[in-house]
Chain A
Amino acid sequence: MPATLILPLLGLALAAALWAAATLLLANETPILANFAPAEAFRALSRLAVDPVMWDHVGVSLQRVAIGLAAALAIGVPAGILTGVSRVFAQTTTPLFQFLRMISPLSWMPIAVMVLGVGDAPVYFLLAFAAVWPILLNTAAGVAQLDRNWLMLARSLSATRAETLFRVVLPGIVAHILSGVRLAIGIIWIILVPAEMLGVSAGLGYFILDARDRLAYPELMAAILVIGALGFLLDYGARWLYQHWLHKG
Chain B
Amino acid sequence: MNAPQPLAPPPGTDAAPETVLGAERLSFAYARSGPVFADVSLGIRRREIVCLLGGSGCGKSTLLRVLAGLETAAAGTVRFLGQPLTRPHPRSALVFQQASLLPWLNVFDNAGFGLGFKHQPAIDAAARKARVREALAAVGLAGREHAWPAELSGGQAQRVALARALAREPELLFADEPFSALDAITRAEMQALLVDVVHRWQAAVLLVTHDIDEAILVADRILLMAGKPGHIHRAWTLSIPHPREDHPEAVTALRLQILSALRAGNAATAPHAIPS
The DSSP consensus for interface residues of chain A is helix
Cα distance A157–B93 when bound, in Å? Answer: 8
The residue from B98, B100, B119, B148 contacting A249, defined by CB atoms under 8 A apart? B148
Q: Is B205 an interface residue (CB 8 A)?
A: no
Cα distance A118–B87 when bound, in Å? Answer: 57
Residues of A with C-beta under 8 A to B96? 149, 152-153
Q: Is A28 an interface residue (CB 8 A)?
A: no
How many residues on the B side are at the interface (Cβ–Cβ under 8 A)?
23
Contact (A156, B102) CB under 8 Å given A149-B96, A248-B150, A249-B149: no
Cα distance A180–B41 when bound, in Å? Answer: 51
Q: Which of B73-93 contact A (CB under 8 A)?
A: 87-88, 90, 93
Q: Is B12 an interface residue (CB 8 A)?
A: no
Q: Is A171 an interface residue (CB 8 A)?
A: yes
> What residue of chain B has the Cβ atom nearest to residue A249's Cβ?
B103
Query: Judging by beta carbons under 8 Å apart, are A248 and B148 in contact?
Result: yes
Q: Is B114 an interface residue (CB 8 A)?
A: yes
Contact (A149, B100) CB under 8 Å given A156-B94, A158-B90, A158-B117: yes
The DSSP consensus for interface residues of chain B is loop
How distant is B80 from chain A, measured CB to nearest CB, in Å?
A: 12
Contact (A171, B104) CB under 8 Å given A163-B117, A163-B118, A249-B148: yes
Q: Which of B112-171 contact A (CB under 8 A)?
A: 113-114, 117-120, 148-150
Q: Is A150 an interface residue (CB 8 A)?
A: yes
How distant is A177 from chain B, measured CB to nearest CB, in Å?
A: 12
Q: Is B70 an interface residue (CB 8 A)?
A: yes
Query: Judging by beta carbons under 8 Å apart, are B119 and A158 in contact?
Result: yes
Q: Is B223 an interface residue (CB 8 A)?
A: no
Residues of B with C-beta under 8 A to A149? 96, 98, 100
Q: Which residues of B contact A (CB under 8 A)?
A: 68, 70, 87-88, 90, 93-94, 96, 98, 100, 102-104, 106, 113-114, 117-120, 148-150
Q: Which residues of A contact B (CB under 8 A)?
A: 147, 149-150, 152-153, 155-160, 163, 167-168, 171-172, 174, 245, 248-249
